[in-house]
Structure 1
Amino acid sequence: MKAIYVAMMAAAGIVMAGQVHADEALAKAKNCMSCHALDKKLVGPAYKDVAAKYKAADAAKLVEKVKKGGSGVWGPVPMPPNNVTDDEAKKLVTWVLSLKK
């Protein structure tokens, strides 16, 4: 029984790892990584810093920010609107929030 449990946990980890990489690939495909990095500030904040600042309850607010852009929260450089669907924005936000330190 213990072996089955371990196998199930390992499979779940593989599935989750694949999902995280897929969402990182989406961020790269949508040029998000031109201004953001996982763990250091570029033009915009590091995604790990974004994850640390916001909670999952802020996900809807963050989806709107991804789509519409914004300014003033992380400094004077504005984030432009992004050409993403609602589903893509939700995937990106879920991925970013999963990067908590």
Structure 2
Amino acid sequence: MKRGVAVVTFTLLIGVVASVVATTACAADAPRGRTVANANACMGCHAVDRKLVGPSFQQIATKYKGDAQAPAKLARKVKDGGSGVWGMIPMPAHQSMSDADVRAVVDWVLAGAPWK
């Protein structure tokens, strides 16, 4: 019986390790912009493919497609906040985000917020 318990315990341990490795691999495969967006509460107001409090990231990508000034405009909007473009609910400023992190999120959003 002890051998059976050891085999079950070992099998469960292997399953847990495999799950951790798979989760880590998925996080490593995530675009940097998505990782930064998740870490900075962007997903509290925005979703990739549907409107929440603010527009979806895909709606933003569509609106600014072909606009050469979009990266600079959106980076400024993330840093300073704003309102009026998508309705009356203001977007709060994100002054504490580094310029590199803001740019990573903006580039990811303008690329259509791809999953990978």
TM over 0.5: yes
**Which one of 32, 36, 59 corresponds to residue 26 of structure 1?**
36
Please give the TM-score of this superposition, normalised by the length of structure 1.
0.76
- Using the TM superposition, give the Cα deviation of residue 23 of structure 1 relative to its aligned residue in structure 2, in angstroms: 1.8
Q: Deviations over 1:23-81 (max 9, x none)?
A: 21110100000000000000000000000001351111110001000100000000010
**Which one of 68, 86, 90 corresponds to residue 99 of structure 2?**
86
Please give the TM-score of this superposition, normalised by the length of structure 2.
0.67
What amino acid does structure 1 have at the position aligned with 2:47? A
Q: What's the % identity of the aligned pairs? A: 48
Could you list the runs of 5+ residues in structure 1 that have no partner in the other structure? 1-16
Q: Distance in 1 between matches of 2:61 and 2:110?
A: 4
Of the structure 1 ranges 37-46 and 56-65, higher mean CA displacement relative to structure 2 is found in 56-65
Q: CA RMSD in A?
A: 2.0
Larger Rg: 2
Moved >4 Å (runs of 4+): none
Could you list the runs of 5+ residues in structure 2 that have no partner in the other structure? 1-27
Of the structure 1 ranges 83-92 and 29-38, higher mean CA displacement relative to structure 2 is found in 83-92
What amino acid does structure 2 have at the position aligned with 1:24? R
